[in-house]
Structure 1
Amino acid sequence: MKLTKTDHIALIVSDYYAAKEFYVDKLGFELLSQHDRPERGDIILNVGQGDLVLELFVKPTAPKRPQLPQPENQGLRHLAFKVSDVAACLAEFDRLKIKHEPLRYDDYNGKKMAFFFDPDGQPLEIHE
């Protein structure tokens, strides 16, 4: 077996409007599809940008992860996005009022990076 590419990344979010504003309006993902699933108590928003697809499960009743935005819990630590200019992204985050940590440098490759957070506190990263 050879796993060669990520098909999609699934995240559970609590608020439809906040998630859509954050991922589509602010981060620039395109809404690819929406599936209302009242029998499961959720809505699936598939959003994409280039080859990257996020599957957002909008489920207001899902239990919260403990200690967010603490990335040291077991499971998904964070989702990292490759960008060409971290400093420019942080300036755009400031304009869009997206909460983020200061610019820092990767301990191993010296490249610029920073963490930011979605409306539910999920830790996300931008990295050059």
Structure 2
Amino acid sequence: MLLAVHHIAVICSDYERSKRFYTEILGLSILRETYRQERQSYKLDLALGNHYIIELFSFPQPPQRPSGPEACGLRHLAFAVDDLQDTITHLQGKGVQVEPVRIDEYTGKRFTFFRDPDGLPLELYDASINS
């Protein structure tokens, strides 16, 4: 039986740039950082609050993945936030471009998208009661 999502694995093209983005800009905390010599690869285990959430990998010359909003495969990774505008302001202050806010036609909740350093689409979803 499935219990929960354990983690999400992300392969990046520039390890230090992505490490900085996920830790310094998004505020995820580092649980463990491992260099795997045989693979010439870093594995960075990241948490959000007390929850293990992302494995960030580096590999030498990873192939590009065709990506677009409607490409087959993982569409995006969404983060729940309690104050959408404050989070947008924080990201923009760090130089991150954020799309205009949209309204979910089914829930009435506000959301927006931005991208990680490799173009992976990330969503901010307003989880506040009053949105």
TM over 0.5: yes
C-alpha contact 2:28 2:48 (8 A) present in aligned 1: yes
SS in 1 for 2:39: coil
Equivalent residue for 2:98? 100
SS in 1 for 2:89: helix
* Within-5 A mapping of 1:1-128: 2-50=1-49, 51-66=51-66, 68=67, 70-128=68-126
For each residue in 1:28-55, what CA deviation from the matched residue of structure 2 results, as whole angstroms up to 9, or x when unmatched?
1111111111222311011111224200
Give the % identical residues: 42
Q: 4+ runs of 1 displaced by more than 6 Å?
A: none
Q: Give the AA of the match of 2:2.
A: L
TM-score (norm 2): 0.89
* Distance (whole Å) between structure 1 residues aligned to residue 20 and residue 45 of structure 2: 14
Q: Give the AA of the match of 1:35.
A: T
TM-score (norm 1): 0.91
For each residue in 1:58-89, what CA deviation from the matched residue of structure 2 results, as whole angstroms up to 9, or x when unmatched?
124111111x4x12111100000111111111
SS in 1 for 2:93: helix
5+ long unaligned stretches in structure 2: 127-131
RMSD (Å), alpha carbons = 1.2
5+ long unaligned stretches in structure 1: none
Q: Give the AA of the match of 1:103.
A: V
* Distance (whole Å) between structure 2 residues aligned to residue 60 and residue 49 of structure 1: 27
| Count, aligned residues | 125
